[in-house]
Structure 1
Amino acid sequence: MKTKHLKIRLPHYYLIFQGYNDMYDQIIEKFRNSLQTIGEHSSWLEKAEKGIKICNKTISKLKKLVEKEDFESVTEEIYFFKHIKPIPMSYLIFYSEVRSCEHLKPKAGNSFQVRFLEKELKKVNKFFQKNNDFVIYMEQNHNYIDHQLFTRDHSSNYPFTPIPNYYQYPEFSSSHGMLWAKVQAMYKYIHYIRESIQCLQPGSKSLFSDKKHALLKWSGSKTSLVELIYALYSVGYLNHGTADLNMIASSFEDYFNIKLDNIYKTYSEIKARKENRTKFLTELQDHLENKMCQEDR
């Protein structure tokens, strides 16, 4: 199996190291591009149906590739089950939860629907409480027991029982890879619930807002904020790279009390700049450098 350094521009967890095959990364890159084709103005149920198909197709490709090529080292195996497979798997779990929620949600009465969604939030909180130690281990970027959590040699003790569509196969699963995917899925699910409640209660206070947020107002241009959002998305430093553009943009809108109309169109305009396409990021860098130089003097 030929190997080489990773060169494609993907979130930060695509670490560069010798010996990892970039075929997996090409599949993930195509997967992310496919997700962007899901209609922005489609209903959540439509998004879920389309998303599940894309996820299943991607996971099947990864499974066939693993069966054909396998891994050349334990390091590669850990990397795959910790950083590669959980990407489409987390979206599969997320879209499956959304589809289930949309079907089970009361059909009439905003108050009944809000109450149902609030119960869903409680379920999410219980999930995080139950798996608190594992979540802390992952979010603190620990790796001292990765060989137990993310290799197939230790796959007999699964932390929870997934539904069949989650592709639980011994030769294609580690003991905690599925749990890590579900953790990431639940972060997305929280965002979905928040959006749903806000649609049912327009003008209501955000579930995650507090008084401190009201003190911060974005006073720069909306184009600059979109540039910052895309930069954060591209580097993958939010929710371990699993936060999508809509989630990041919506969070910024809530935090800074601003409405961003069409971030995709704005991004296209930024890309079309003839000189210095990252104008705002360059400005940030220049200001920080000047501040440091002044303090040094």
Structure 2
Amino acid sequence: MKIAQQRFYLFSLNTNPMFEQTMTTFTEQIEQIINSEETSLKKAELGIRLCNKTLTKLQERVAKEDFEDAAEEIAFFKNIKPIPMSYLIYFTEIRTCELNIPKAGIDPKIHYLEKEVKKINEFFTQNNDFVNYMEQSYNYLDHVYFTRHNLENFPFAPTINYYQYPEFSTSHDMLWAKIQAMYRFIHYIRDAIQQLKPDNIYIAQQNQPKLLLWTGSKTALVELIYALHAVGDINHGAVELQTITSAFESFFNTKLNTYKTYAELKARKGDLTQYLHKLIVHLEHRMRRDDEL
């Protein structure tokens, strides 16, 4: 599945169709930028341009047609706008990092990146209550956080200067976007540190079981990876497909060609998700067997 399809799954059930084409185009182009051979700085510049362009389109559409009810407004500011907004913040952070990181010496570069990690951790600590609200998939304060009617009565204003128009913002949509962006940015920082310290092994890798091998087909594993990415249950959907793929490759000591395999999955005749259906059948069979025992 392409990022367009993966990301769009997260809001397709709640979104107004008038945003569908804009978001589909955006997510397809984001995928092209991320998977290009450009430098990180160039990717950031291209991404920032695309995000601003998309946000402007969304803003114009909202100003012209607005929402039919509060539920539609909440769906937009909770699930749609934060997607390009979070990428804008993410690419802006990358651009700042690439421009400000020391140009010489491994130790100064690592020190700079570790300071960035500390700042990210402080951000999550400062916003712990709201992060918990979103992580638990609560919705009882959505009418406060994700509608514009409560702006005057809610003094909160995130210290974010990436892109902000009062008539196109709620009290928390920018903060939610930044949370998603920071989930992505922490992976960028850790990868950068790993490149500078190739002998440094992540804690997760240190604790990784050594004897787990994927003995099913690689096609089945790719199908599973795309499904996990599509449903958005890893890092709240704020994680790139390649990051999940790399984790599975490391964990199961294998190598995958995800994009080629995914194209083959889409070209199947009949059942497009054979492995996922197989999992359902086997799990249900086991449950029935366990009940009988």
Structure 1 segment 126-275 matched on structure 2, within 5 A:
126-156=122-152, 157-163=155-161, 166-214=162-210, 216-260=212-256, 262-274=257-269
Corresponding residue for 1:16? 13
Residues 235-284 of structure 1, C-alpha deviation per residue, up to 9 Å, x if partnerless? Answer: 22223333221222123234434433x32112123333345442322332
Taking a change above 3 Å as real, the CA distance of residues 205 and 258 of structure 1, as seen in their structure-2 partners, is: farther
Distance 1:194 1:213 in 2: 21
For 1:92-141, what per-residue CA distance to the aligned partner results, in whole angstroms no more than 9, with x for missing partners? 00000001101111222223222211111111000000100110011111
State the Cα distance separating 1:179 from its structure 2 match.
Answer: 0.4
Pairing 1:25–2:20 present: yes
Instruction: Please state if 1:102 is matched with 2:98.
Output: yes
Which residue of 100, 113, 116 maps to 1:117? 113
Tell me, in whole angstroms, the C-alpha distance in 2 between the residues paired with 1:170 and 1:210: 46
Task: Classify 1:193/1:213 alpha carbon distance in 2 versus 1 (closer, same or farther; 3 Å).
Answer: farther
Contact between 1:188 and 1:243, CA under 8 Å: does it hold in 2?
yes
Partner letter of residue 273 of structure 2?
T
Q: Aligned equivalents of 1:74 and 1:275: distance in 2?
A: 40
CA distance in 2, matches of 1:44, 1:187: 17
- Aligned counterparts of 2:268 and 2:142: Cα–Cα separation in 1: 44
Aligned length: 285
Bigger relative contact order, structure 1 or 2 (CA pairs below 8 A, ≥6 apart) = 2
Deviation at 1:11, TM superposition (A): 4.7
Separation in 1, partners of 2:30, 2:151: 30
Classify 1:71/1:276 alpha carbon distance in 2 versus 1 (closer, same or farther; 3 Å): closer
Find the aligned partners of 1:135 and 1:231 in 2 and give their Cα distance: 24
The percentage of counterpart residues that share the same residue type is: 52
Task: Name stretches of at least 5 consecutive residues in structure 1 with no aligned partner.
Answer: 1-7
Q: Whose helix proportion is higher, 1 or 2?
A: 2
- Deviations, residues 194-253 of structure 1 (Å, cap 9, x unaligned): 211222222531254342544544333333221111111222222333322122212323
| Farther-moved stretch of structure 1 (29-38 vs 106-115) | 106-115
| 1:5 aligned residue | none
What's the TM-score, normalizing by structure 1? 0.87
**SS of 1:181 mapped into structure 2:** helix
Give the distance between the partners of 2:286 and 2:160, measured in 1 at CA. 52
- CA–CA distance in structure 1, aligned partners of residues 251 and 126 of structure 2: 29
User: C-alpha separation between the residues in 2 aligned to 1:10 and 1:110?
Assistant: 36
SS in structure 1 at match of 2:198: coil
- Tell me the distance in 2 between the aligned counterparts of 1:16 and 1:146: 17
Farther-moved stretch of structure 1 (39-48 vs 100-109): 39-48
Distance (Å, rounded) in 2 between the aligned partners of 1:155 and 1:125: 27
| In structure 2, C-alpha distance between the alignment counterparts of 1:113 and 1:81, rounded to whole Å | 37
Query: What TM-score do the two structures reach when normalised by structure 2?
Result: 0.88
TM superposition outliers: structure 1 runs of 4+ over 6 Å = none
Correspondence 1:73-88 to 2 at 5 A: 73-88=69-84
The 3 A distance-change label for structure 1 pair 271 and 13 is closer
Q: Structure 2: which 5+ residue stretches go unaligned? A: none
Q: CA RMSD in A?
A: 2.2
Residue 47 of structure 2 contacts residue 91 of structure 2 at CA under 8 Å; is this kept in 1?
A: yes
Q: Contact between 2:222 and 2:261, CA under 8 Å: does it hold in 1?
A: yes
